[in-house]
Amino acid sequence: MQTALDSDSRRWVERLAAGHPLRDQTVARLREILLRVATHELGRRRSQLGAISGPEFDDVAQQAADDAVLVILGKLRDFRGLSRFTTWAYKFAVFEVSSKVARHAWQRQPPSSDSLVFEQAAGPLSQRPGDTLERREQLRILSVAIGELTERQREVFVAIALNDVSIDELALELGSSRNAIYKNLFDARRRLRGRLAEAGHPVTNVELSTP
């Protein structure tokens, strides 16, 4: 059920609608705002971008802003006025940045035994100082196993477990339900634990990032 929109949000929705005489200018303004949001968010996540800088950094921000605008235009009718329009729109830019950062990290440097991400994902494994070699082998198996997940399972696991995207935010972006996203995450975690078990590693104390 849609609530009464504040005047600013109502203007955004009206002017972004197809056929409105100010649509092109409004889309350009929205993109400019989202580009600033994307640039800020990328700066906040710079440590996850490795050597990306300069034009390449700007290009990632531009892509995130462009993709966020397209998603917003496609979901315009879904806006219910539960928050200001710009607040609602910011979430899409942040998600696009999160997705692109995760994809960049995966493509350029697949998770390895030295990855802090997997130290977090493996939980108690990182607390066993006497088992460094075993931990490295377990993390290597996890790295391979992530590549064996289905595309959706990998997308969900990378976004939530590796890049701290919330389930609700991911469900909104993917046009899915919270339960469906959690099911994909659950299946991914079960598959990863299973691969550890197949390789002869105990999984009793392994938790793979519960949101």
| Shared-domain flag, residues 85 and 158 | no
Whether 156 has a pLDDT exceeding 70, the answer reads yes
Q: Are residues 114 and 25 in the same domain?
A: no
User: Could you tell me if residue 28 is inside a domain?
Assistant: yes
Domain end (from 93, 122, 141): 93
Same domain (yes/no): 89, 114: no
Question: Of 81-95, 105-119, 125-139, which has the strongest mean pLDDT?
Answer: 81-95
Q: Are residues 147 and 200 in the same domain?
A: yes
Provide the pLDDT confidence category of residue 114 given band limits of 50, 70 and 90.
very low
Burial class (CB in 10 A: 0-12, 13-18, 19+), 137: middle
Instruction: With respect to residue 141, please indicate whether it lies within any of the assigned structural domains.
Output: yes
Q: Is 98 inside any structural domain? A: no
Q: Is residue 34 in a domain?
A: yes
pLDDT above 80 (res 191): yes
For residues 8 and 85, membership in a common domain is answered with yes
The confidence score (pLDDT) of residue 126 equals 43
Q: Cα separations (Å) of 189 from 175, 185, 186?
A: 22, 6, 5
Look at residues 6, 206, 16 and name the one whose alpha carbon lies nearest to residue 118.
Answer: 206
Mark whether 62 and 144 lie in a shared domain: no
- Say whether both 85 and 160 belong to one domain: no
Question: Directed axis angle between helix 7-16 and helix 85-108, to 10°?
Answer: 60
Determine the average pLDDT of the residues in 36-42.
90
In this structure, is residue 65 part of a structural domain? Answer: yes
14-18, 119-123, 152-156, 200-204: lowest mean pLDDT where? 119-123
Half-sphere exposure (Cβ direction) of 165: Cα atoms closer than 13 Å: 33
Residue 21: pLDDT over 90:
yes
Please tell me whether residues 32 and 114 are part of one structural domain: no
Classify residue 104: in a domain, yes or no. no
Q: What is the mean pLDDT of the chain?
A: 76
Query: Are the C-beta atoms of 12 and 85 separated by less than 8 Å?
Result: yes
Query: Average of pLDDT values for 180-193?
Result: 84
Which of the listed residues 25, 59, 93 is the one where a domain comes to its end? 93
**Residue of higher predicted confidence among 184 and 175:** 184
CA geometry: angle 14, 20, 22, nearest 5 deg: 90
Q: Of the candidates 93, 125, 156, which is a domain's last residue?
A: 93
The single residue listed with the structure tokens 């994809």 is 103
Is 158 a domain residue?
yes
Q: What is the Cα 107 distance to its own chain's centre?
A: 15
In terms of residue numbers, what domain contains 58? 1-93
CATH number of the domain within which 124 lies: 1.10.10.10
Q: Residue 15 — pLDDT band, cuts 50, 70, 90?
A: very high
> How many domains does the chain divide into?
2
Please state which of the ranges 18-22, 161-165, 171-175, 180-184 shows the lowest mean pLDDT.
161-165
> Is there a single domain that holds both residue 125 and residue 206?
yes
C-alpha distances (whole Å) from 96 to each of 60, 89, 102, 126 are 10, 11, 10, 30
pLDDT band at 50 (very low <50, low <70, confident <90, very high): low
Q: What is the pLDDT of residue 45?
A: 74
For range 127-139, the mean pLDDT: 58
List the alpha helices (DSSP H) in the chain.
7-16, 23-44, 54-74, 85-108, 116-121, 132-147, 151-157, 167-174, 178-198
One domain, residues 42 and 118: no
**Above 70 in pLDDT, residue 70?**
yes
Relative orientation angle of helices 85-108 and 167-174, to the nearest 10 degrees: 90
Closest CA to 125 of 4, 1, 46, 133: 133
The answer as to whether 119 is a domain residue is: yes
For residue 3, pLDDT beyond 70: no
pLDDT at 123 over 80: no
Q: Are residues 4 and 39 in the same domain?
A: yes
Task: Mark whether 87 and 180 lie in a shared domain.
Answer: no
